[in-house]
Amino acid sequence: MLLKVFAAAAVLSTPPTIISGGGGGVVVDGFVVVPAAAAAARRRGGTAASAMSIASLLEKEKSVLDELEKRTEKSVEKGVEVLPFVAGDDAAKRAWLLRFLASGDDLEAAVGRVEASIDWRLGEGLEIVRKARTSFEAATSGGGWDNDPVLSAAPFSEKIAPFVGAAKLLTLRNAKNDGLVYAIRAGEVDDKSLMAAVTPDELAQFFLYAKAVNEIVCAKLAAETNELSDVVTVNDLKGVDLFGDATFRQVLSRTSKRGDQVFPGLAGPTILLNLPPLARALVKIFKPLFPKSVQNKLKFAEFDLLDSPEQLLDRASPAREAFLTEIDAILAAAAA
């Protein structure tokens, strides 16, 4: 798996930033991968450590955004019931369209991506986005966040939930409350048993539903903070089986690509923690093959990963605050 991950990182249009472990304490050996789309967007007005200001992006992209809005007007009107904003909310609509410009594509490509996203939502993904909207409303109806309606409404949740409990997958607001942090303890997921219980299509629907929920949450955060929120993925590889189920990895890859197409601009940097020895060796082997501009981005970081990740669910927990603050520090170091 890591061979494929490293190779994928190496061909990104924007160089990956590698963070390797230092000494002392529980050290994280890992690297940060900034997706090409997110990197291009940040070149337009953001940083790797923070969300992007909607106001600044609106100013930079006004002319092309106006044209994109005009050329996709009919498609947006047709699909407004499956989009992460309500009819008549022009500010939210323009913020959503901004995400299609984040990859640096030209206008023609952006128009095509908008139309393709809406077509998927009205066709293959209709039930997924409908469930995401309904479950989001239920989760926030009490003024806070109740995750039970979200999990119970997820496609094939009864099969998948036992393998991906809160101690293995967590989605949190970041330290600045302007984006999300999606934390995965990959080594704790029994991928072989999971794939024996579900089909690849069932698991793909589950993960696409999660992305649909995240899109709605990020849209709400954007309205509150005026920042184009994204999702930073933190993948703890401690104890991961390098020879785990290949089908599971294929599903993750497929849904990641599909998610980027359908839910644009959500994928922020990915931080890989606690790389196994083989992966650390690969970093050392491949380092000389990168340009100096990439090698110069190597950073060292120390990180205490919680033995009890349930602490992260407690909003008042010092451990939660420390975790989110450390994630911001790693991203800031990568951007330096």
Q: What is the largest CA-CA distance in the chain?
A: 58
What's the pLDDT band for 185 if we cut at 50, 70, 90? confident
Mean pLDDT for 233-259 is 84
Q: For residue 34, which amino acid is it?
A: V
pLDDT of residue 190 exceeding 60, the answer is yes
Per-residue pLDDT at 20: 27
Lowest-pLDDT range of 39-43, 49-53, 216-220: 39-43
Per-residue pLDDT at 283: 64
What's the pLDDT band for 46 if we cut at 50, 70, 90? very low
What's the pLDDT band for 305 if we cut at 50, 70, 90? low
Mean pLDDT for 267-272 is 81
Q: How many CB atoms lie within 10 A of CB 89?
A: 15
Q: For residue 104, which amino acid is it?
A: G
Per-residue pLDDT at 299: 43
Q: 107 versus 241: which is more confidently predicted? A: 107
Q: Retrieve residue 212's tokens.
A: 């649909």
Mean pLDDT for 161-187 is 86
Q: For residue 43, which amino acid is it?
A: R
pLDDT in tens, 103-145: 677 899 999 999 999 999 999 999 999 999 999 999 999 988 8
pLDDT in tens, 63-87: 999 999 999 999 999 999 999 999 9
Per-residue pLDDT at 318: 86
Lowest-pLDDT range of 3-7, 105-109, 316-320: 3-7
Q: Are strands 180-185 and 231-236 parallel, antiparallel or unpaired?
A: parallel
Mean pLDDT for 48-67 is 81
Mean pLDDT for 265-282 is 76
Strands (DSSP E) contained in the chain are 17-21, 30-33, 52-53, 169-173, 180-185, 227-228, 231-236, 267-273, 299-301
Q: Which residues contact 170 (CB under 8 A, 6 or more apart)?
A: 181, 182, 183, 309, 312, 313
Write down the mean pLDDT value for the chain: 78
Torsion of CA 273, 167, 146, 158, to 10 degrees: 110
CA distances from 109 to 97, 103, 112, 125, 147 (A): 13, 10, 5, 21, 36
Per-residue pLDDT at 44: 45
Lowest-pLDDT range of 28-37, 79-88, 95-104, 325-334: 28-37
Q: What fold is seen in the domain 2-335?
A: Phosphatidylinositol Transfer Protein Sec14p (3.40.525)
3-state class of 176 per DSSP?
coil
Per-residue pLDDT at 21: 30
Q: What is the DSSP letter of 101?
A: G
pLDDT of residue 34 exceeding 50, the answer is no
Strands (DSSP E) contained in 238-336 are 267-273, 299-301
